[in-house]
Structure 1
Amino acid sequence: MTVRFFHTSDWHLGQYFHSHSRQFEHEQFLAWLLIQIKEKQPHALLIAGDIFDVINPASAAQKQLYQFLADAHDIAPHMQTLMIAGNHDSGYRIEQVEPLLEKYNAKSVGVIHKNDDGQINLDHLLIPITNEQQKTVALCLALPFLRSSEITGLNEQTTNSQNAIAYVHQQLISEAKQRKTDDQALILMSHAHMQGSETSESERPIIIGNEEALSTALFDDVIDYVALGHLHKPQKVGQTHIRYSGSPLPLSFSEINYKHQIVEVTIDPIQTDESRFTFEPIYIPRPIKLHKIAGELTDVLAQIQTLAEGEITEIDQREFVDIEYFTLVPPPPNLRQHIEEIIPKNRYRIVRIFRKRLVADHQNDAATSVHLEPPTPKKLFQQIWQKQGYSNDDAVLQDFLSLIQEAEKSLEDEHEA
């Protein structure tokens, strides 16, 4: 029996882009996705982790997700929405709303659960996908971001993260093989960093203990499709059926040329060759343009003046501009003011002005950089943390960012009141 589904990931709802909200852009993406669902009527929608941008998402971000699930259920009531937690998500948080999700034919897998005997609860990770006639056409092996504390110490085969990850995959795939019938497909959804994949600067490192990225050898040949999340560039990894769908929005200027997409996948498990599956990228329109302007200062100023004119009334819909210039002499003290005067009015948001002073190679001196934009709380925290002699700790930084977001939410609530 044929199964059809959409592979998506890394929505990052609630993200702030250089202190600017992405709510409008996410609204546009979700509205576009609803159109695709209404037209294609897939059996399932997969969201392979990093649903939210932070572990404590603001109420507006949560509302976006749940409103989307309600709207999707209205236009495609037979479609299942299957979500896993990424490294940005709180696995427990996305599972807490299970009764709500059930009303919208949705399922979330946030953490690895254990049975009374201390072994992995495989039932929680194996989700049937059904067609319009309620017949099971596929099994989804749903693996959230695997945290060491959840999977190590189960037995002598799980003494470290790498061994434990291999053990989890082995146990889950073995159980899926026993349960599937010949006319059912196996789809593995995972949030992980795979060997041989291409990264961008916006992705948070998730490799545990500086160990190597995961190998595709974890995926048995019986798996028909591997739906990956974490990396923002759409790409296949080794084989055509092992893929990252990528993020729906550029999450940094390094992703400005990415062809953001969702992947429409159709699998006929009865077929024995590569004709059993088809992959069709559906490209996502970019709601707000990003402009990267770089070069020698006079050239940068000339490029700025060539930007398109025409006002955009709503501030949160204006285009983003990142400026990086090079000079051997100090910049004029009023440079930012000058740039704001020559850039077309009421159309752009300057998110960064960055100066890199070029130093002759024979001097063996590091190039110095000067940022002219106001420091963000994140940057100030990182600077103070390093000055105190502490090394970079991603968990501490995320805790700090969560506190910032909670404070912002509190201020929003007070304003609304």
Structure 2
Amino acid sequence: MRLLHTSDWHLGQTLHNFDRTHEHGCFLDWLVATLVAEEIDVLLIAGDIFDNANPSAAAHRQLYRFLQQAKARVPHLQVVVIAGNHDSPGRLEAPTPLLEAHGTIVVGNVGRTPEGGIDLDRLLVPLRGRDGAVRAWCLAVPFLRPGDVPRAVAEDDTLALDPYLNGTALLYRQAFALAQSRCAAGEAIIAMGHCHMVDGKASQDSERRIVIGGTEALPATMFDPAVAYVALGHLHLAQRVGGHEHRRYSGSPLPLSFSEVGYQHQVLRIDLDGPAVASVTPLFVPRAVELLRVPPKPAPLDEVLALLEALDLPDAPPHAQPFLEVRVLLDGPEPGLRSRIEAALAGKPVRLAKIEPTRRHAAPDNASEALTLDQLAQLQPDDIFRRLWAQRFGDEAPPDQLAAFAELTHALGGDAA
């Protein structure tokens, strides 16, 4: 049996207000062709299908069009989807009757039995071969919120357990035990999850931190060693968990911020040999639209403007033009910064998405001095403004800026502002 692991599509995402429908469409077209070419039996989508809990109609259409085309091209294909922290579990599960009729299983949340326990059956998905026989079992565990996890009880009453961390580990153990009870000889157990694992490398700008009850990262030990493969979502950089070949983040299929410019975006092909994984193969996703950082490191404005004026790019329609982040090193405020950059780019087939200014200054001598509560209470708005200006620019606030601030505070009601 052959599986394909992907996650973090973030359909509907915009990059600094630029629409990315074209890029997502290119990825989904490539993915359909890849499912055919690689003869995939099961597609695992490990959460964050959508970029937010209230996705647009266009984003929904992209997903359903993909599922329809994938099933038409690969009639035996099974699709297993779990919700991520960006998804709305209810919205994701709403079309379940229609999706299940076409081979797509969606697990948005953790259900409960009439007795109030975890409905583990909902989390266990049989994976079938082309002949219809069960070849593997999938623990389809969505992003877990505090109310989703069972209560873990310590064997020693003197020990205090982290409710979320230990509850999550207990849920995976219970689901694995159920899978083992149903697993026949030669059948593999696959686990899915959407979470941040210990030592996982996060993207600098595009990932929402998950902190629940003080717990941000979960240990890989919560997965039983007998689990053949762990398909994870949430982190956008494709990576192994703890260096383990069969515990992986597939990463996002396209860069979701400029911090991901250097990522090799991919999906992962998993070949099963009975109850074990024979191989894990990355399949690299072509980038439909380039992301440019000019210059690669912040540089003085005149140098940056010269680089922008010399930028030579091939013609492209607006939806296919590269996104550009301009990185400037400044000595102080530059009121006309954007207009000067836009003038240097005039007529070039590129979309200016972001200007990233970096201030070059020495911190003031008193930057580390802490204020007492009494001193803080005595500060006036202009005192705070002066301090922030000195902290950011390493110099005293100029008179015109102080006058403008005073006019603003007066208009807002003086000290009440």
* TM-score computed with the length of structure 2 as normaliser: 0.83
After TM superposition, give the deviation of residue 311 of structure 1 in Å.
Answer: 2.7
Matched residue type, 2:249 = Y
Q: Give the structure 1 partner of residue 193 of structure 2.
A: 190
Q: Give the structure 1 partner of residue 110 of structure 2.
A: 112
Q: For residues 348-359 of structure 1, what are the structure 2 equivalents within 5 Å?
A: 348-359=350-361
Structure 1 range deviating more: 348-357 or 226-235: 348-357
Q: Give the structure 2 partner of residue 282 of structure 1.
A: 283
Contact 1:41 1:79 in 2 (8 A): no
Q: Give the structure 1 partner of residue 252 of structure 2.
A: 247
State how far apart, in whole Å, the 2-side matches of 1:237 and 1:156 are.
Answer: 27
* Gap change, CA 1:257 and 1:344, over 3 Å in 2: farther
Query: RMSD between aligned alpha carbons?
Result: 2.2
Q: Structure 1 residue aligned with 2:68, among 62, 67, 70?
A: 70
Matched residue type, 2:18 = H
Gaps of 5+ in 2: 156-160, 368-389, 395-415
After TM superposition, give the deviation of residue 270 of structure 1 in Å.
Answer: 5.1
* Gap change, CA 1:270 and 1:83, over 3 Å in 2: closer
State how far apart, in whole Å, the 2-side matches of 1:112 and 1:228 are.
Answer: 17
Q: Give the structure 2 partner of residue 122 of structure 1.
A: 120
Q: Structure 2 residue aligned with 1:262, among 246, 260, 267?
A: 267
Q: Secondary structure at the match of 2:140?
A: strand
Gaps of 5+ in 1: 370-387, 390-417
State how far apart, in whole Å, the 2-side matches of 1:20 and 1:368 are.
Answer: 31
After TM superposition, give the deviation of residue 155 of structure 1 in Å.
Answer: 7.9
After TM superposition, give the deviation of residue 118 of structure 1 in Å.
Answer: 1.0
Give per-residue Cα distances to partners, 1:139-187, cap 9 Å, x unaligned.
Answer: 0100000011222559889982122212211110111111111211111
Give per-residue Cα distances to partners, 1:324-375, cap 9 Å, x unaligned.
Answer: 21121432x4332222222262411111223222112564464459xxxxxx
Matched, 1:338 2:312: no
Q: Give the structure 2 partner of residue 35 of structure 1.
A: 33
Q: Which segments of structure 1 move beyond 4 Å, counting only runs of 4 or more? A: 152-159
Q: Give the structure 1 partner of residue 158 of structure 2.
A: none
State how far apart, in whole Å, the 2-side matches of 1:176 and 1:252 are.
Answer: 38
Matched residue type, 1:285 = P
Q: Give the structure 1 partner of residue 321 of structure 2.
A: 318
Matched residue type, 1:103 = A
Q: Give the structure 2 partner of residue 296 of structure 1.
A: 300
* Gap change, CA 1:270 and 1:243, over 3 Å in 2: closer
State how far apart, in whole Å, the 1-side matches of 2:266 and 2:29 are.
Answer: 14
After TM superposition, give the deviation of residue 232 of structure 1 in Å.
Answer: 0.1
Q: Give the structure 1 partner of residue 181 of structure 2.
A: 178
* Gap change, CA 1:212 and 1:330, over 3 Å in 2: closer
* Gap change, CA 1:359 and 1:170, over 3 Å in 2: same
* Gap change, CA 1:154 and 1:93, over 3 Å in 2: farther
State how far apart, in whole Å, the 2-side matches of 1:80 and 1:97 are.
Answer: 16
State how far apart, in whole Å, the 2-side matches of 1:306 and 1:10 are.
Answer: 36
State how far apart, in whole Å, the 2-side matches of 1:253 and 1:266 are.
Answer: 33
Structure 1 range deviating more: 98-107 or 88-97: 98-107
Contact 2:332 2:393 in 1 (8 A): no
Q: Give the structure 2 partner of residue 412 of structure 1.
A: none
State how far apart, in whole Å, the 1-side matches of 2:96 and 2:275 are.
Answer: 34
State how far apart, in whole Å, the 2-side matches of 1:270 and 1:8 are.
Answer: 21
Aligned residues: 363
* Gap change, CA 1:159 and 1:254, over 3 Å in 2: closer
State how far apart, in whole Å, the 2-side matches of 1:11 and 1:296 are.
Answer: 36
Matched, 1:229 2:233: yes
Q: For residues 79-90 of structure 1, what are the structure 2 equivalents within 5 Å?
A: 79-90=77-88
Contact 1:311 1:345 in 2 (8 A): no
Contact 2:196 2:218 in 1 (8 A): yes
State how far apart, in whole Å, the 1-side matches of 2:152 and 2:226 are.
Answer: 26
Contact 1:310 1:344 in 2 (8 A): no
State how far apart, in whole Å, the 2-side matches of 1:250 and 1:367 are.
Answer: 30
Larger Rg: 2
After TM superposition, give the deviation of residue 297 of structure 1 in Å.
Answer: 1.4
* Gap change, CA 1:115 and 1:366, over 3 Å in 2: same
* Gap change, CA 1:368 and 1:53, over 3 Å in 2: farther
Q: Secondary structure at the match of 2:92?
A: helix
State how far apart, in whole Å, the 2-side matches of 1:156 and 1:251 are.
Answer: 41
